[in-house]
Amino acid sequence: MENTPFKQFGEWMKEARASEPNDSNAMTLATVSAAGRPAARIVLLKAWDERGFVFYTNLESRKSNEIRENAQVALLFHWKSLLRQIRIEGAVTPVSPEEADAYFASRYRVSKIGAWASDQSRPLASREVFEARLKEVEKRFPGEEIPRPENWSGWRVAPDAMEFWREREFRLHERVVFKRAGTGWETGLLYP
């Protein structure tokens, strides 16, 4: 069997789901604007396979704008309870409309309403303005299925590098790195 990082990722994610008290799928997403300004924020991993790691967001948000300007990003999972982290670097591409529709359909109704009501990352005059927009959307879709807004979808990070970091005593950590090599992966160790 080919040596890939995905088996290790799956094992660590399974352990994180069992041990992390909240959001074991939380990951830091780092982007860089066209002007070279970095930004980082937490997003939630919603799907993954050997094609990459998927998260969903407003396509007019700061993160989406920066992704369109520079499709190279980094992800970081940090599980304090397990003393582990995984770093992922790679290029981002949009998920298919079918994938976005399927995930959106699985969301709670209030989350769907929020996707319609929020102008994510843009200035908000007051919380009351947002709450009024939530009520307007609720009235617009009374008791019926809420379709996915056109400005809401997902991004897939296709990794070209992944690092698995495990804490060891006295800061003598273990670091295993995978780097994309053609259609396969090269692996090695890094000094702590």
Give the catalytic positions in this structure: 171
Could you give the 3-state DSSP secondary structure of residue 2? Answer: coil
The closest of 56, 91, 88, 57 to 75, measured between CA atoms, is 88
The closest of 33, 32, 53 to 43, measured between CA atoms, is 53
Which H or E run includes 177?
strand 174-181
Residue 101 makes CB contacts below 8 A (sequence gap 6+) with 148
Maximum distance among all Cα pairs of the chain, rounded to whole angstroms? 58
Token pair 């400005």 in the structure block, residue: 151
Contact status, residue 44 vs residue 28, Cβ threshold 8 Å: no
